[in-house]
Structure 1
Amino acid sequence: MNAVENTIFNYFEYSTCWPVIDEDIRRCLMRKFPYGILYTIEDNFILILAVMHCSREPGYWKDRVK
């Protein structure tokens, strides 16, 4: 299992604990790498918008939200 999958499976059990960074978008930071997983909590699922490097083009994912 790679680091992204590990973060998703282990941390999203507590999906509401991660901070809201824009409207209803939350960011979960990875432990060993400078990446964050941006997601929103929908009625029956968690929608992952991006796995982003935390110091490159911070707002590129905003086009994905509609």
Structure 2
Amino acid sequence: MIPVIFDPEAKSEFLEAVRYYEECQPGLGSRFKEAVESATKSISIAPFRYRILHKPFRRLLLFQFPYSILFSIEPDHIHIVAVAHSKRKPYYWLKRS
């Protein structure tokens, strides 16, 4: 497995979404957190299985939630650049590196 590092902004987006879902329905935030953690593990095991969305960024779509995990493959780690809602501000994360 390759180590995974979250961009500070991506970590903030992730935690904000967890809080939002937990406020909507108790337990839903935990389910979102588990989905992201599972997806992150999948990325760390086989990062090349996910298609390039906008070079060098790849995307994993979460099935249970309208979110994508955008990441780049670095020489010694995976860099998560965004935990992005699929219906908001497309490509806002491109300025992150």
Both proteins in one fold, TM over 0.5: yes
Specify which of 28, 32, 37 is matched with residue 69 of structure 2: 37
Is the aligned partner of 1:48 residue 2:80?
yes
Which structure has more strand as a fraction of its residues? 1
Moved >4 Å (runs of 4+): none
The residue aligned with 1:57 is: 89
Can you give the 5+ residue segments of structure 1 that lack an aligned partner in the other structure? none
Deviation at 1:30, TM superposition (A): 0.9
The higher-RCO structure (CA 8 Å, 6+ apart) is 2
CA RMSD in angstroms comes to 1.2
**TM-score w.r.t. length of structure 2:** 0.61
**TM-score w.r.t. length of structure 1:** 0.87
